[in-house]
């Protein structure tokens, strides 16, 4: 067993190998604080025949790691949740470029979170453990690498911030890299500048180098001989024959403007070349023809861009494809937009829901269940690329692209307290030829505008590509699918006119330096501003009103002690309000009642019913109350539904009252004034203060400031009582009500 312990970013970090999962090709145990992850890697002995490198990464969070039992009926972990899939993608995208070209043996990486302290995120630890396990195994790997998270709290950079610190950070960036270059970036921000991102990447690089140094200390003591493998070499005569037969034809074919015309032309060249050369080359060499044709296509596209500055669809490197926009085209949804850029098209809809529509989340990272009130779901059906393939649930790619777009838009949403809706955005990709996730961002922003959601500003996104050969390179704005496939980088940047809100980078080479990324960010800003300008032409601000089909929401604050009365026995009262009004009600522990209804009439009816049940009488207010019962010493008057107060016999009229029934009887409506609430919460009324004194002018008001009969009003409180204005919905003071019915 080999182990090392160091302090990293203010917390204890330990790496070890050789204690757990010893039958795997390599394993590593990483602990940071009290969060622990175990990584195990395995490799097949035989070369795969698949046309791509068969790497799979699995990341699993064990609920026992946080001292929890899975919820629901099945008390064991099931399919990975979105968070686990996103963490697996971070690891996969970071390590994939570092396996040697031509290595085709199947590799599997398993990462388990086995302890979670609910302070330190395990995703970057999983990447560190995967790198360490690969380097302690026989699998060829150009590591070590490492990953860190960067935040910024009160303008100060923080390396690997805790969950609590991230709540106050304006940036959350995960960066993976080697000793000298960056291989993967993923994150979101609150409209930060390009220079802020560059500074964050510099901070990340320093942390990455420190973690690589820690790994190297252990690897120096635990060197493992790498497995032998042979890269398949293509015979020179095959390369010569294919190049002579197809090079010029491939160059012509790839320059078709339309995607499908281009694909068909390239495939036609490949087929005719294979048919031609199979007649002249030995049968044993027929399998190499396709590989050489692929290399020719790769070289032709890249050389054209570097030599001529023109791309296969005729654009210059900085040029964005033509954009068309339709907003509000779906009549019954709450907001919609159709965003088309070149041959990429996204149909986006926005649905506004209530608190009951929020998604409940129970993860190992949170001490309690949390709610998610904003969701963006991205769907990529096979017809969007003209394919026929089975649909078997949401893919990892769809989850990753949806998360990227969600981060981009989340930064500009209004505070939930001021706009208490649950918001769901759905992006349906109808056509795809590069950067459909960024089309989802643009379409999502426009659909939010169309829905009348008061977002801080429009958000646009653009995907940047790279062609790099030695010291020569070209950065491409708004890349095509072909340029993504044959290029070296897919760098997506989304944001507003004020700054970046979401960023993601994947590469196919072994790393990029900071200067090249700085150039890419600057060029991306130019592209983003162009797209924002096109979006503004279609819809420049949120619509003034919500869709007539969207629910209207109003909140009413009640005394928390009245929550039980509002809900009623087994929910009977609140269900009755919902059934009678047609509105939907939710109430939280603080007494905040949220009322949602399609139509103002239903919402107002529900609000009045809530206030009638939960309102509390105000000192100094005049009420038309109903006599509920009489006694020898007075009458009990119902001021508002459920709240009665005593009108003492001495306060019924001026002079002596011998019998209550001489003045009023049960069922009468009498005007009374609330004059006191004692220390026990009991309410005392007076009728005589509203009556003219004997001998006074009957035409004069009964009391100074008194209102005409039937009108409630507020006046200064009685001497010694606190003065406060009447508040709509009732006071939040003492309990009053039924507590004031004690007999004297």
Flag whether pLDDT at 627 surpasses 70.
yes
Q: What is the C-alpha to C-alpha distance for residues 478 and 342, in angstroms, rounded to an integer?
A: 10
Buried/exposed 347-361: b ≥16 CB within 10 Å, e otherwise: bbbbbbbbbebbeee
If you count DSSP H runs as helices and E runs as strands, how many of each does the chain have, helices first?
A: 14, 29
Which residues, at least 6 apart from 91, have a Cβ–Cβ distance to it below 8 Å? 57, 59, 109, 111, 123, 126, 127, 130
Predicted pLDDT at 561: 83
The mean per-residue pLDDT over the stretch 511-536 comes to: 95
Residues 6+ apart with CB under 8 A from 561: 735
Instruction: Average the pLDDT over 576-593 and give the result.
Output: 89
Q: pLDDT exceeding 70 applies to what percent of the chain?
A: 93
**What are the beta bridge partners of residue 28?**
39
CA pair distance 453, 462, nearest whole angstrom = 23
Does 323-538 match 2-219 at the fold level?
yes
404-409: average pLDDT: 97
Task: Please check whether residue 539 is in contact with residue 327, taking contact to mean a CB–CB distance below 8 angstroms.
Answer: yes
Query: pLDDT tens for residues 86-131?
Result: 999 999 999 999 999 999 999 999 999 999 999 999 999 999 999 9
Domain spanning 552-614: CATH 3.60.60.10: no
For 350-405, the DSSP string reads EEEE-GGGSEEE--TTSSS-EEE-EEEEEE--GGGGT------S--HHHHHHHHHH
Backbone angles phi, psi at 392, to 5 degrees: -130, 65
Q: Render pLDDT for 4-22 as a digit per residue (tens, 0 to 9).
A: 999 999 999 999 999 999 9
CATH fold for domain 2-219: Ribosomal Protein S5; domain 2 (3.30.230)
Q: Which two tokens stand for residue 664?
A: 């009023």
pLDDT at 510: 83
Of 78, 41, 77, 39, residue with least CA distance to 59? 39
Name the band, by pLDDT with cuts 50, 70 and 90, for residue 716.
Answer: very low
Q: Phi, psi (5° rounding) for residue 494? A: -125, 150
Could you give the CA distance from residue 586 to residue 730 in angstroms, rounded to a whole number?
A: 19
Secondary structure (3-state) at 128: helix
| Domain covering 236-308, topology | Arc Repressor Mutant, subunit A (1.10.10)
- Residue 22's alpha-carbon distances to 18, 147, 351, 570, in angstroms, are 6, 25, 51, 56
Residues 178-207: pLDDT tens digits? 999 999 999 999 999 999 999 999 999 999
40-56: pLDDT as tens digits:
999 999 998 888 899 99
Which range (19-23, 281-285, 367-371) has the least confidence? 367-371
Q: Report the Cα 603 to chain-centroid distance in Å.
A: 29
DSSP conformational letter for 653: S
Q: Which whole number is the average pLDDT over 287-306?
A: 93
Q: In the beta sheet, which residues pair with residue 60?
A: 112
Picking from 204, 214, 159, 213, the residue whose alpha carbon sits closest to that of residue 184 is 204
Share of the chain above pLDDT 90, in %: 66
| Residue-level pLDDT at 697 | 56
The arithmetic mean of pLDDT across residues 539-556, rounded, is: 91
pLDDT at 643: 76
Element (H, E) at 213: helix 194-219
Taking residues 421-431, report their average pLDDT: 97
| Sequence-distant (≥ 6) Cβ neighbours of residue 250 within 8 angstroms | 266, 269, 293, 296, 297, 300
Q: Give 640-684 pLDDT, tens digit per residue.
A: 766 788 898 898 988 888 898 889 999 899 999 988 887 777 888
Which single residue is written with the structure tokens 């759905």? Answer: 426
Q: What is the pTM of this model?
A: 0.82
Q: Which of 615-619, 621-625, 671-675, 733-737 has the lowest mean pLDDT?
A: 733-737
Highest mean pLDDT among 278-287, 693-702, 727-736: 278-287
Q: Are 185 and 175 in contact (CB under 8 A)?
A: yes
331: Cβ contacts below 8 Å, ≥ 6 apart:
none
Q: Taking the domains of the chain in order of start, what are their residue ranges?
A: 2-219, 236-308, 323-538, 552-614, 622-740
Which of the pair, 739 or 400, is modelled with greater confidence?
Answer: 400
pLDDT of amino acid 696 = 59
Which residues on neighbouring strands pair with residue 563, listed in sequence order? none
Instruction: Tell me the CATH architecture of domain 622-740.
Output: Beta Barrel (2.40)
pLDDT at 368 > cutoff 90: no
Q: With left for phi above 0 and alpha for psi between -120 and 50, is residue 399 left, alpha or beta? A: alpha
The rounded distance, in Å, linking the Cα atoms of 708 and 712 is 9
DSSP code at position 571 = G
Q: Tell me if 216 sits within 8 A of 136, measured CB to CB.
A: no
In a 10 Å sphere around its CB, with 0-12 CB exposed, 13-18 middle and 19+ buried, how is residue 319 labelled?
Answer: middle
pLDDT over 50 (residue 727): no
Q: What is the pLDDT of residue 182?
A: 95
Residue-wise pLDDT tens digits, 309-327: 999 999 999 999 999 999 9
The region of weakest confidence among 49-58, 487-496, 593-602 is 593-602
Residues belonging to the chain = 744
Q: Is the peptide bond before 352 cis (omega within 30 degrees of 0)?
A: no
Burial of 298 (0-12, 13-18, 19+ CB in 10 A): middle
Pairing of strands 374-379, 422-431: parallel
3-state helix, strand, coil in the chain (%, to 5): 35, 30, 40
DSSP state of 691: S
Whether 227 shows a pLDDT value over 80: the answer reads yes
How confident is the model over 290-300, as a mean pLDDT?
93
**Beta-carbon contacts of residue 659 (< 8 Å; ≥ 6 apart):** none
The alpha-carbon radius of gyration of the chain (Å, integer) is 35
- Mean predicted lDDT score pLDDT of the chain: 89
**Residue 734 pLDDT exceeds 50:** no
Tokens at residue 185, please? Answer: 């970036």
- pLDDT value of position 49: 86
Distance CA(111)–CA(125), nearest Å, equals 10
CB 152 within 8 A of CB 158: yes
Q: What is the mean pLDDT of residues 169-183?
A: 95
* Residues with Cβ within 8 Å of residue 619, at least 6 apart in sequence: 674, 675, 676, 677, 717, 718, 721
Give the least confident one: 28-42, 106-120, 226-240, 333-347. Answer: 226-240
User: Which is it for the CA torsion 710, 715, 719, 723, positive or negative?
Assistant: positive
User: Is the CB of residue 690 less than 8 Å from the CB of residue 651?
Assistant: no
Strands 643-648 and 683-686: parallel
pLDDT of residue 677: 82
3-state secondary structure of 105: strand
Any idea what DSSP says for residue 254? T
Whether pLDDT at 332 is above 90: yes
Closest by CA to 164, choosing from 413, 466, 367, is: 367
Q: What does the DSSP 8-state code read for residue 65? A: G
For the chain, the maximum distance between any two Cα atoms, rounded to a whole number of angstroms, is: 129
Mean pLDDT score, 410-417: 93
Angle at 221 between CA 149 and CA 44, to 5 degrees: 75
Q: How many CB atoms lie within 10 A of CB 661?
A: 10
Q: What is the pLDDT of residue 625?
A: 87
Superfamily of domain covering 323-538: GHMP Kinase, N-terminal domain (3.30.230.70)
**Among 324, 348, 340, 351, CA closest to 452:** 351
The residue to which tokens 């396709």 are assigned? 290
Distance separating alpha carbons of residues 507 and 80, to the nearest angstrom = 25
Using DSSP, state whether 729 is helix, strand or coil: coil
Q: For residue 313, what are its two tokens? A: 């669809």
703 secondary structure, DSSP code: S
């Amino acid at each position: 067993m080999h182990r090392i312990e160091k302090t990293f970013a203010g917390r204890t970090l330990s790496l070890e190998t050789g204690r757990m999962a010893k039958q795997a090709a390599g394993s590593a145990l990483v602990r940071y604080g009290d969060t622990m992850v175990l990584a195990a890697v395995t490799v097949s002995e035989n070369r795969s025949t698949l046309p791509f490198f068969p790497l799979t990464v699995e990341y699993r969070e064990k609920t026992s790691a946080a001292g929890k039992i899975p919820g629901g009926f099945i008390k064991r972990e099931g399919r990975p949740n979105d968070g686990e899939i996103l963490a697996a993608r971070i690891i996969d995208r970071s390590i994939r470029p570092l396996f040697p070209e031509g290595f085709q043996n199947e590799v599997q990486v398993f990462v388990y979170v086995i302890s979670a302290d609910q302070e330190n995120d395990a995703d970057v630890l999983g990447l560190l453990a995967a790198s360490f396990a690969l380097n302690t195994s026989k699998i060829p790997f150009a590591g070590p690498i490492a990953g860190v998270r960067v935040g910024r709290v009160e303008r100060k950079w923080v390396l690997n911030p805790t969950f609590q610190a991230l709540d106050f950070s304006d940036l959350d960036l995960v960066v993976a890299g080697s000793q000298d270059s960056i291989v993967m970036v993923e994150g979101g921000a609150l409209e930060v500048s390009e220079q802020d991102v560059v500074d964050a990447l510099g901070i990340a690089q320093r942390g990455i180098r420190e973690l690589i140094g820690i790994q190297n200390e252990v690897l120096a003591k635990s060197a493992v001989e790498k497995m032998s493998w042979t890269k398949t070499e293509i015979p020179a005569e095959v390369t010569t024959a294919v190049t002579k037969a197809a090079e010029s034809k491939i160059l012509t074919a790839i320059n078709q403007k339309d995607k499908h015309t281009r694909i068909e032309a390239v495939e036609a060249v490949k087929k005719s070349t294979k048919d031609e050369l199979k007649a002249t080359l030995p049968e044993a060499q027929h399998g190499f023809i396709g590989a050489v044709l692929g290399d020719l296509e790769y070289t032709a596209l890249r050389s054209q861009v570097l030599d001529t500055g023109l791309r296969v669809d005729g654009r210059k490197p900085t040029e964005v494809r033509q954009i068309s926009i339709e907003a509000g085209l779906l009549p019954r949804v709450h907001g919609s937009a159709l965003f088309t850029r070149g041959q990429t098209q996204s149909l986006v809809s926005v649905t506004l829901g209530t608190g009951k529509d929020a998604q409940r989340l129970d993860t190992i990272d949170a001490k309690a269940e949390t709610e998610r009130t904003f969701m963006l779901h991205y769907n990529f059906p096979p017809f969007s690329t003209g394919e026929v393939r089975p649909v078997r649930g949401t893919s990892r790619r769809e989850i990753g692209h949806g998360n990227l777009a969600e981060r981009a838009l989340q930064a500009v949403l209004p505070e939930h307290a001021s706009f208490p809706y649950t918001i769901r955005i759905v992006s349906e990709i109808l056509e795809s030829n590069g950067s459909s996730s960024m089309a989802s961002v643009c379409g999502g922003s426009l659909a939010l505008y169309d829905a009348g959601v008061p977002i801080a500003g429009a958000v646009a996104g653009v995907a940047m590509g790279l062609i790099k050969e030695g010291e020569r390179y070209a950065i491409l704005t708004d890349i095509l699918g072909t340029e993504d496939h044959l290029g070296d980088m897919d760098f997506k940047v989304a944001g507003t006119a004020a700054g970046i809100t979401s960023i993601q980078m994947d590469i196919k080479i072994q790393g990029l330096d900071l200067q090249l990324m700085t150039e890419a960010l600057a060029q991306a800003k130019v592209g983003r501003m162009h797209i924002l300008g096109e979006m503004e032409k279609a819809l420049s601000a949120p619509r003034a009103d919500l869709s007539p089909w969207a629910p209207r929401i109003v909140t009413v604050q009640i005394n928390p002690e009245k929550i039980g009365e509002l809900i009623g026995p087994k929910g009977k009262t609140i269900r009755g309000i919902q059934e009678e009004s047609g509105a939907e009600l939710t109430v939280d522990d603080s007494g905040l009642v949220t009322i949602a209804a399609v139509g103002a009439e239903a919402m107002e009816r529900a609000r009045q019913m809530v206030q009638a049940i939960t309102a509390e009488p105000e000192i100094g207010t005049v009420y038309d109350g109903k006599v509920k019962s009489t006694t020898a010493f007075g009458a009990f008057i119902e001021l508002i539904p459920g709240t009665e107060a005593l009108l003492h016999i001495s306060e019924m009229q001026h002079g002596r009252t011998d019998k209550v029934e001489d003045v009023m009887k049960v069922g009468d409506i009498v005007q009374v004034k609330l004059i006191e609430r004692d220390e026990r919460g009991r309410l005392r009324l007076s009728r005589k203060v509203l009556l003219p004194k004997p001998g006074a002018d009957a035409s004069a008001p009964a009391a100074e400031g008194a209102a005409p009969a039937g009108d409630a009003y507020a006046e200064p409180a009685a001497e010694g009582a606190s003065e406060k204005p009447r508040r709509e919905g009732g006071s939040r003071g003492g309990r009053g009500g039924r507590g004031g019915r004690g007999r004297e």
